[in-house]
Amino acid sequence: MSYYKVKDLENYFKMYKKSVREPRKFWDRIADENFVWYQRWDKVFEYDMQEAQFKWFLNAKVNITKNCIDRHLAKRGDKTAIIFEPNNPSEAAQHISYNELYVRVSKMANVLRDLGIKKGDRVCIYLPMIPDLAIAVLACARIGAIHSVVFAGFSAGALEARITDSDCKMVITSDGAYRGDKTINLKSIVDEALEKCPSVEKVLVVKRTNENVSMKDGRDIWAQPLLDAAMDNNVAEIMDAEDPLFILYTSGSTGKPKGMVHTTAGYMVYTAYTFKNVFNYEENDVYWCTADIGWITGHSYILYGPLLNGATTVIFEGVPSYPDFSRFWEVIEKHQVNQFYTAPTAIRALAKESIDYVQKFPLSSLKVIGSVGEPINEEAWHWYNDHVGGKRCPLVDTWWQTETGGIMVSPLPFITPTKPTYASLPLPGIQPVLMDELRNEIEGNQVTGSLCIKFPWPSIARTIWGDHQRYIDTYFKAFPGKYFTGDGALRDEVGYYRITGRVDDVIIVSGHNLGTAPIEDAINEHPAVAESAIVGFPHDIKGNALYGYVILKESGEYRNHDNLRKEINQLISDQVGPIAKLDKIQFVNGLPKTRSGKIMRRILRKIAEGDFSNFGDTSTLLNPEIVDEIKEGKI
Ligand code: WT7
């Protein structure tokens, strides 16, 4: 694979300029050299930023699974495609070769076809992190069915809303799921959701926990007997470049979840290109991303990106704290992982525990470590860089979104010098801009603004399922002619980007715009603090004042909370400025978080305002019980 491999920083700038000057040539060559096509494109792309119309590789014909599996068989048939690391470390890991993956995906594809699933049908996949999840996703793509993976931690209500929104014809699930020391009965959650989902005709059930589940006659089918009987080869469906590949739901700041639609060729080209370059993947490396396949990170960088590159990718069923806090490090050692990709929230949780958990392991196989999902604060960055990366592995802080399909801004390992908390430079082909309130592009460096992308890229989402107008309104109205990310960013003196957080998290105090992230960074530097979140609340004179929720480490030394409050404010005063000092500080045991690790600031804002009337939908929270605890602490 070539992908215009960047050689050094000078070469990066050259290539970047080329990608801006001649985007058609740039993408044409990447698409041409790295994939197998049934038919080439007539035109590289066509777009209209006002109407949010994007077409890439027009009229090309392709199947993404031919590129993920079939074309590797001649050279890499026996190479491990997937390493499955089960929840319980005493259960043996599984190594699935590309040959075996071909057979298992073919069988599943044949089963789906036999059950009446056709090109364009929507199939909801609600499975734990087991190989069947990867196989179900790829089998859908094989026959041209549109997969809609729903994270298996979501409740029946959330599942039902997602199935109904896209009229799924089938649900693929399992009897149960293991997660840490818990066993979850997934099938019963599906049963509950389906009470209100008339579109679903069949439920295909794979076995994981072997407990008794109820099977509805005529609707529910065990997968294994059908898989055993199915033919072990399958002719892939010929897909148009712009045929939808999948729908993935992302929660909006308001309203029902948005079903982001990604199409075939552009997504394929972009995830393969970014995987290769951002992780510096080399043949025989073992790559591990700890996300769940239920999120875009898992779609793009557990499955598609790695498999398109013929990589070995780890699927981990468990959690970082089971059986103890050394699990991540143990798995890295066990499978000799070379690239490790995780989220700041996991890093912060592990950094809170004894350093012995990580220091027990040499972790010398690691070459590149990555971060994704939220701004990584300075303390977590250093902990990750020093204790996991051994100060020797480049830490790639990758900024992107469900909507972008793939990584947009990130250092390139061994090429872009890393800088704590900075996602650094856009990948070649990506044109970020910062915008001011008057909708003008802010030129120059050392500036902050709203982060937009001013030119399309291959894997930009094409629409919101069933609601194109909402797609236009959400992303293309605020700054006409540009894609608005919803994030704020800072561009430093050399042009590096630092994502400062959602623009809606900005709090204006006495006319000063304050981003939550730098203030939280300052608070988190206090030795007694594990994590913090700040929100604004109405103030007579300042307009808004700041309210901080602070989680303390388990430490007996800081019993005097008033002193602690003073010290925290002194730190903020020193690092951000006296304007950013907190009016109120509440010590809490946890923060309300979504399952992807994002703090639900909406709830914290209401508590800070003293408005306990209606917290809205808390069903997607990982820890709903914390809300009452915080509320009571307040009163
Ligand atoms: C939002 C997108 C991208 C896959 C996982 C999340 C935030 C993501 C970073 C980063 C700072 C980041 C942004 C973005 N975000 N990565 N490296 N630094 N912020 O996907 O759920 O669609 O969320 O996550 O705010 O807009 P998502």
In a shared domain, residues 452 and 567: no
In a shared domain, residues 573 and 449: no
Question: Is the CB of 397 within 6 Å of ligand 1?
Answer: yes
Q: Whose CA is nearest to atom 1 of ligand 1?
A: 401
- Which pLDDT score is estimated for 156? 86
Nearest atom, ligand 1, residue 398 CA: 17
Closest CA to 534 of 566, 506, 564: 506
Boundary of a domain, candidates 489, 519, 540: 489
> If you ran DSSP here, which 8-state letter would residue 458 be given?
T
Q: Whose CA is nearest to atom 20 of ligand 1?
A: 401
- Which pLDDT score is estimated for 513? 54
Is residue 612 included in any domain, yes or no? yes
Cα-based torsion angle of the residue sequence 21, 23, 26, 32 in order, rounded to the nearest 10 degrees: -160
CA contacts within 13 A on the Cβ side of 368: 28
In a shared domain, residues 278 and 232: yes
Best of 251, 410, 459, 499 for a ligand 1 pocket test (most atoms within 8 Å of beta carbon): 499
> If you ran DSSP here, which 8-state letter would residue 72 be given?
G
Is residue 13 included in any domain, yes or no? yes
Contact 520, 377 (CB under 8 A): yes
Is residue 373 included in any domain, yes or no? no
In a shared domain, residues 225 and 129: yes
Cα-based torsion angle of the residue sequence 450, 273, 166, 55 in order, rounded to the nearest 10 degrees: 80
Nearest atom, ligand 1, residue 397 CA: 17
Nearest atom, ligand 1, residue 291 CA: 5
Question: Is the CB of 306 within 6 Å of ligand 1?
Answer: no
In a shared domain, residues 190 and 71: yes
**Residue spans of the chain under pLDDT 50:** 1, 253, 255, 635
Is residue 501 included in any domain, yes or no? no
In a shared domain, residues 542 and 480: no
Is residue 593 included in any domain, yes or no? yes
Tell me how far the alpha carbon of residue 81 lies from the centroid of ligand 1, in angstroms: 27
Please tell me the total count of domains within the chain. 2
Question: Is the CB of 489 within 6 Å of ligand 1?
Answer: no
Question: Is the CB of 128 within 6 Å of ligand 1?
Answer: no
Tell me how far the alpha carbon of residue 539 lies from the centroid of ligand 1, in angstroms: 30
- CA 294 to CA 151: how far, in whole Å? 4
- Which pLDDT score is estimated for 564? 93
> Which three-class secondary structure string do you get for 367-384?
CEEEEECCCCCHHHHHHH
Question: Is the CB of 404 within 6 Å of ligand 1?
Answer: no
In a shared domain, residues 573 and 529: yes
In a shared domain, residues 156 and 211: yes
Best of 299, 372, 521, 594 for a ligand 1 pocket test (most atoms within 8 Å of beta carbon): 372
- CA 547 to CA 163: how far, in whole Å? 38
CATH code (residue 245): 3.40.50.12780
In a shared domain, residues 466 and 528: no
Question: Is the CB of 259 within 6 Å of ligand 1?
Answer: no
Nearest atom, ligand 1, residue 376 CA: 18
Is residue 80 included in any domain, yes or no? yes
In a shared domain, residues 131 and 96: yes
Alpha carbon 197 to its chain's center = 27
- CA 456 to CA 247: how far, in whole Å? 20
Is residue 623 included in any domain, yes or no? yes
Q: Which residue has the tokens 């979850």?
A: 184
Question: Is the CB of 398 within 6 Å of ligand 1?
Answer: yes
Tell me how far the alpha carbon of residue 253 lies from the centroid of ligand 1, in angstroms: 14
Where does residue 543 fall: left (phi above 0), alpha (psi -120 to 50 degrees), or beta otherwise?
left
Q: Whose CA is nearest to atom 18 of ligand 1?
A: 375
Q: Within 476-598, where are the H helices?
A: 516-524, 561-575
Question: Is the CB of 401 within 6 Å of ligand 1?
Answer: yes
- Which pLDDT score is estimated for 253? 47
CATH code (residue 555): 3.30.300.30
Boundary of a domain, candidates 459, 489, 519: 489
- CA 412 to CA 366: how far, in whole Å? 16
- CA 443 to CA 433: how far, in whole Å? 8
Question: Is the CB of 485 within 6 Å of ligand 1?
Answer: yes
Q: Whose CA is nearest to atom 7 of ligand 1?
A: 374
- Which pLDDT score is estimated for 505? 62
Which run of H or E residues covers position 98? helix 98-114
Question: Is the CB of 375 within 6 Å of ligand 1?
Answer: yes
Boundary of a domain, candidates 456, 489, 522: 489
Structural domain boundaries, residue 534: 510-633
Q: What is the pLDDT of residues 442-491, one digit of tens each?
A: 999 999 999 999 999 999 999 999 999 999 999 999 999 999 998 999 99
Tell me how far the alpha carbon of residue 343 lies from the centroid of ligand 1, in angstroms: 10
Q: What is the pLDDT of residues 363-406, one digit of tens each?
A: 999 999 999 988 888 999 999 999 999 999 999 999 999 999 99
Contact 277, 3 (CB under 8 A): yes
Question: Is the CB of 248 within 6 Å of ligand 1?
Answer: no
In a shared domain, residues 148 and 193: yes
Q: One-letter amino acid identity for 272?
A: A
Is residue 391 included in any domain, yes or no? no
Closest CA to 14 of 28, 2, 4, 29: 4
Question: Is the CB of 237 within 6 Å of ligand 1?
Answer: no
In a shared domain, residues 422 and 548: no
> If you ran DSSP here, which 8-state letter would residue 594 be given?
B
Q: Whose CA is nearest to atom 12 of ligand 1?
A: 374
